[in-house]
Structure 1
């Protein structure tokens, strides 16, 4: 490994747009790793730029740090991830993204008529959620969470 293969923390921050304090935090959580110089300064492999980018994207998707760590374990630590490495990760995350999209589409489609209680509208509440049938499925806005009014009536 050449000295040019290693980045000081400030350069890693500049290249990724991630604050130095956040880089230290991610390192402390085990999401990225550094090497130490004889003087104790952090040096990062260039591959850590991709790992940091993945962390930022995964956080935007709503993954927890534990979930991100589980995905990062699947990436090589000794080299920059390649297309096959990323394909393994993306295949695993695709179902989660599809579920998030479906939930957002349900919310968008029902939002205009729903005040958040689980029925479709106040005017029709007696028809769609008479005697609070939706509550039998659990707390929260049941219809926005994916329950259908027919499912709830059948559960009765």
Structure 2
């Protein structure tokens, strides 16, 4: 069995994160450490992959809660291997594609009426007279409804 012999500083340096980030991930149960006889944290090498996957997923906009849920789906909550990573990536692609479509819509229509109900723009009375879009729900309903339909 692999020994937990990496210090928190070594892991932080290798992963490009702050020590406090590792402590935070541990509190969120995304990574695990062991304590040595001096009560200092020690990590197994596979934590490097877990932290790297967490960072990559966060860059894609995946929440820590979803990352935790995905890690929990692995047998014995083990660190994802190459096959697992492919499966995780495919799972997250659908969510990312929806987010990309939403961001493209936002980019294209940010200067126009988005259906938020403010009616402060000259175009809003044309698209959302008397805030009729409020019947469709809260928030920027033109953007939200478009992204959900895609």
TM-score, normalised on structure 2?
A: 0.80
Shift of 1:115: 7.0
Matched, 1:67 2:74: no
Query: Who is 2:109 aligned against?
Result: 110
Measure, in 1, the Cα distance between the counterparts of 2:105 and 2:118: 13
Larger mean Cα displacement after TM superposition, 60-69 or 87-96:
60-69
Q: Within 5 A, what are the aligned runs for 1:1-156?
A: 1=1, 6-75=5-74, 81-114=80-113, 117=116, 122-147=121-146
Instruction: Give the paired residue count.
Output: 147
Residues 33-76 of structure 1: CA deviation (Å, up to 9, x unaligned): 11222222221111101111122222333333322210122346
Rounded Cα–Cα distance in structure 2 between residues aligned with 1:99 and 1:120: 27
- Contact 1:114 1:121 survives alignment (8 Å): no
- For structure 2, the 5+ residue unaligned runs are none
Please state whether the residue corresponding to 1:81 is helix, strand or coil.
coil
Cα distance between partner residues in 1 of 2:5 and 2:75:
16
Indicate the structure whose relative CO is greater, using CA pairs within 8 Å and at least 6 residues apart. 2
TM-score by length of 1: 0.78
In 2: Cα distance, 1:147 partner to 1:37 partner? 54
